[in-house]
Amino acid sequence: MKKTLFLLLSFIGAHAVNAQRSLPDKNVRIAEALQQQMTFRKEQAKAMFGHDSIAVQREFWRLDSLYQEELRHWEVINNPYFTQAKVKSSMKLDSTLVRVFDDPTKKWIDFERTLYRYNDQDLLTQQQKDTLISTTESEARTLTSFEYDQEGRMLSLLVKEYNLETGVFDERSKKEYKFPNEYTTITHLYGLNPKNGQLYKASQSTISDKPAEHWQYTEWLDLNTEGDTILGRRETRISSPLTKFSENYQWNGKDWAPMNKYHNRYDEDQNLISHVFWQNEGTQFTSSERNSYEYEEGKLTAQYYSKREHDEEAWKDIYLTHLSYNQGDTLMVEDNFNKQGEVWVQYTKSFELPSEKGVDFWRYEIRNGEMYLLGGKETTLDEMKRKTMVMDFYIQGEEKVPTYRHIYQYNGSEKRESKDVLQFWSEDTEQWLNIEKIIQSYNDQGKNILFERSSWSTLLNDWEGTFKSVREYNEAGAETLYENYTYLKESQSWLLSYKIMNEIREGFESLESYQYDYDIQKLVGTHKSLMESTNNGASGNFEIYRFATWEWDVTEENWVLEYDIRQERYEGTKYLKWVDYYNRQYPEWARNHRIKYYYRDFEEENDDVVLATDEAFGFQLMPNPATDYFRISGPAEVQELKIMKASGQQVRTYPGGESQYFIGDLSAGVYHIVLTSGSKQAVFKLLKQ
């Protein structure tokens, strides 16, 4: 007999675990969603019960599946009421029940239930969600229906809400899908018209996709209740390794107006060889501009700029730039040309040349074949070829006039500590005046550990800080500390305003962040989280995984655990084995809830069921027949109750202590109710109408 065991965790709304996702990223999203959901649950519970001290219990059932591990097989020695009943599992989610714990009564109360129904293709056809205010009355109820074509493609999705006054479900929203050809999907979205309470087509989207041709067309339309288009956009796109094209239009209320259009071409090395973009006017694209590029050995050697009017076919060249390099692949010469008639005429020339002090960059204007120096940049190097000064200048008459300069100082090598002072030349005072100072330090790995920027205060005639950051790293080069400082002008000192601490090692990562609170003049915690696994197997899946978050307690001035999610995985699979959720219940911490899934696939051998003939030792089931609920009364406490089909297939399991049991989602027919009390079991036959 073949048995396949796997377990699957999911919290509300999740149907599967994607092993390919980044677990830390995914669990951050889980924690955020859980926080939002718990806040929502507490608000509703406070309205229902007058307090928000709640926990959440979830029970999940699957169609044709077994629920408890100990029910792996039914044998006479373990259960005298059944003989050799084995069931195949379809693994389809049947229903989800959410309960809130009412602390004053110490009872779990039904809160929200979701039911799922499928067609013969195992496609979801109906989903009903009820939010309950008691075990018999619904506060809100939604019904979602799905339709498919023969190929399994969804044709429609209709959402209805239950109207308590009329007793019927009213349509609230709808999606329709049409497939006019093999590469096009048209989606209609219907919303509720507030004027008449009827659905109207609120938007329409068309997507045509031809992957083999790298072509895609999309169109979005927003409509009013009268059926008029109020907003719209169209885009045609081609995206291949050698070309990228995009053309966009926008609906202006009367016509489709052009927005933007461009076309890029690339060579086999992915170098951009041309970029064309169009101007627009009125309802059409008009003139266009083009940048063309030429390369030699992967280096850009020429760039052309051209224009073309919308009624012209030929491009008109405007500018040309030639680039030359030395043997070290450093740009040395840049020549710029204008097109005059059919002739290229050079108008500027720029190049770098070695000098006695270092390297000079010169920019010349060319007039009538003569070169006139316009300006440039002088770089001074020390014996270690490090920059000590970089000065910009321009030429006025025959004189060189400085504009800005950087003064560099070093402590040790350039990659250990450096200071960069920016100054500008005042022609009025004929002096260099300070503007900004930057101090940087680096560790042995070449990573920045200090960045400090200051600006010159003419009032104080001294430097004033503007920004400062400090970083630390572990041996692997991962950042473990980041500190941000704010400069206080009154005390002329730095204040630690923000701090992040990370601890990163194999299978473990934690993060803490703090921010300065100016009201209490202290650092307060803003976020703390921990992610942990004992192993990352060859399959890429954590076998044990934990995610926890903390919140800052202002009174205690310390971290207090908020959520602690622990997950266990089967080795070599993507399926979660179990998960524990913890949340704070003052004054102590208690497990919030634990979700377990058990599924079995069995080879069907014998579906014969033998019912017990023992008396029910004083228990009664009522009403019988039943439609939505039934109750159990008796001399002792019911510890567990199972609902079985006549074939012996288990439908679901309820814990003890229930006042009544919901069966409204079950199909009509005969069911067997098996209850356990102490060491005894009783079996009832129930007719579900």
- Return phi, psi of residue 45, to 5°: -65, -35
- What span, in angstroms and rounded, lies between the C-alpha atoms of 440 and 189? 56
Task: Give CA–CA dist 363/379, Å, rounded.
Answer: 14
57 contacts 593 by C-beta, under 8 angstroms: yes
More confident residue, 581 or 233: 233
At residue 20 the predicted structure's pLDDT band, cuts being 50, 70 and 90, is: very low
pLDDT number for residue 16:
28
Taking the C-alpha atoms of residue 627 and residue 122, their distance in angstroms, rounded to an integer, is 26
Has residue 413 got a pLDDT over 70?
A: no
d(CA 228, CA 231): 9
Q: Which residues contact 680 (CB under 8 A, 6 or more apart)?
A: 617
The more confident residue out of 592 and 288 is 288
Which tokens is 143 given? 């019904």
Dist CA 394 CA 566 (whole Å):
67
Q: What is the C-alpha to C-alpha distance for residues 584 and 559, in angstroms, rounded to an integer? A: 12
Q: Where are the beta strands (DSSP E) in 282-330?
A: 284-296, 299-308, 316-325
Whether residue 142 contacts residue 155, with contact meaning beta carbons closer than 8 Å, is answered with no
Distance of CA 596 to the CA centre of its chain: 26
Q: For residue 59, what are the CA distances in angstroms to 62, 112, 130, 505, 622?
A: 10, 11, 15, 36, 24
Name the residue with higher pLDDT: 616 or 72: 616
Q: What are the φ/ψ torsions at residue 570 (nearest 5 degrees)?
A: -70, 140
Other CB atoms within 10 Å distance of the CB of residue 25: 10
State the pLDDT confidence band at 653, using cuts at 50, 70 and 90: confident
pLDDT at 270 over 60: yes
pLDDT of residue 525: 94
Show the tokens assigned to 615: 């008396």
Whether the pLDDT of residue 464 is over 80: the answer is yes
Dist. CA 438–CA 419, nearest whole Å? 6
The residue among 536, 485, 481, 534 whose CA lies nearest residue 511 is: 481
Q: What is the structure's pLDDT at 6? A: 24
Closest CA to 499 of 478, 483, 511, 517: 483
Higher pLDDT, 552 or 98: 552
DSSP string covering 164-227: TTTTEEEEEEEEEEEEEETTEEEEEEEEE-TTTS-EEEEEEEEEEEEGGGTEEEEEEEEE-TTS
Residue 508: band (very low, low, confident or very high) from pLDDT cuts 50, 70, 90: confident
User: What tokens were used for 594?
Assistant: 């634990």
Q: State the pLDDT at residue 627.
A: 79
101: CB partners within 8 A, 6+ apart: 54, 55, 56, 57, 107, 108, 109
Note the pLDDT of residue 307.
94
Q: Which domains does the chain have, with CATH numbers?
A: 1-118+528-606 (no CATH), 137-239 (2.40.128.720), 620-688 (2.60.40)
The yes-or-no verdict on residue 355 having pLDDT over 50 is yes
* Segment of 154-168, 213-227, 280-294, 401-415 carrying the highest mean pLDDT: 213-227
| CA atoms of 370 and 580, how far apart (whole Å) | 81
The reported pLDDT for the residue numbered 646 is 64
Least confident interval from 59-63, 184-188, 489-493, 581-585:
581-585
Q: What HEC string does 36-94 produce?
A: HHHHHHHHHHHHHHCCCCCCEEEEEEEECCCCCHHHCCCCCCCCCCCCCCCCCCCCEEE
Under the banding of pLDDT at 50, 70 and 90, the label for residue 360 is confident
**What is the pLDDT at residue 10?**
28
The yes-or-no verdict on residue 402 having pLDDT over 60 is yes
CA distance 448 to 18: 37
In DSSP terms, which residues pair with 131 in a beta bridge? 112, 140
Both tokens assigned to 563: 């959520």
Q: Across residues 278-283, what is the average pLDDT? A: 85
Three-state SS for 388-415 is EEEEEEEEECCEEEEEEEEEEEECCCCC
CA 632 to chain centre: 47
- Going by pLDDT thresholds of 50, 70 and 90, the confidence category of residue 448 is very high
pLDDT of residue 632 exceeding 80? yes
pLDDT at 538: 40
DSSP state of 20: T
Check residues 383 and 77 and name the one with the higher pLDDT.
383
Whole-number Å distance between alpha carbons of 668 and 673: 15
Greatest mean pLDDT among 101-105, 390-394, 631-635 lies in 390-394
Highest-scoring range by mean pLDDT, 120-129, 443-452, 654-663: 443-452
Instruction: Provide the 10 A C-beta neighbour count for residue 627.
Output: 11
In the block, tokens 């969603």 appear at: 33
Beta strands in 78-153 (DSSP E): 92-102, 107-118, 124-132, 138-148
Burial of 541 (0-12, 13-18, 19+ CB in 10 A): buried
Mean pLDDT score, 356-363: 82
pLDDT of residue 2: 26
pLDDT of res. 383: 87
- Token representation of residue 157: 């999705």
Better-predicted residue by pLDDT, 409 or 647? 409
Which residues, 6 or more positions from 414, have their beta carbon under 8 angstroms from its beta carbon? 384, 386
Is the model's pTM score more than 0.85?
Answer: no
The residue type of 473 is Y
**CA–CA gap between residue 113 and residue 130 (Å, rounded):** 5
What pLDDT is stored for residue 403 in this prediction? 96
Say whether pLDDT at 287 is over 80: yes
Question: Which residues, including other chains, have CB under 8 Å from residue 389's CB and lie 6 or more apart?
Answer: 378, 379, 380, 405, 406, 407, 408
pLDDT, mean of residues 395-410: 92
Token match 């002739």: residue? 343
Query: Who wins on pLDDT, 133 or 76?
Result: 133
Residue 300 has pLDDT above 50, yes or no: yes
pLDDT at 19: 28
Is the pLDDT at 629 greater than 90? The verdict is: no
**Does 309 score more than 80 pLDDT?**
yes
pLDDT at 3 over 80: no
Give 48 or 446, the one with higher predicted confidence.
Answer: 446
Confidence of residue 583 (pLDDT cuts 50, 70, 90): very low
Determine which of 192-206, 231-245, 615-629 has the lowest per-residue pLDDT on average.
615-629
Q: What is the mean pLDDT of the chain?
A: 76
Closest residue by Cα to residue 242 from 272, 220, 213: 272
Q: Cα(633)–Cα(534) distance, rounded to whole angstroms? A: 48
pLDDT of the residue at 32: 55
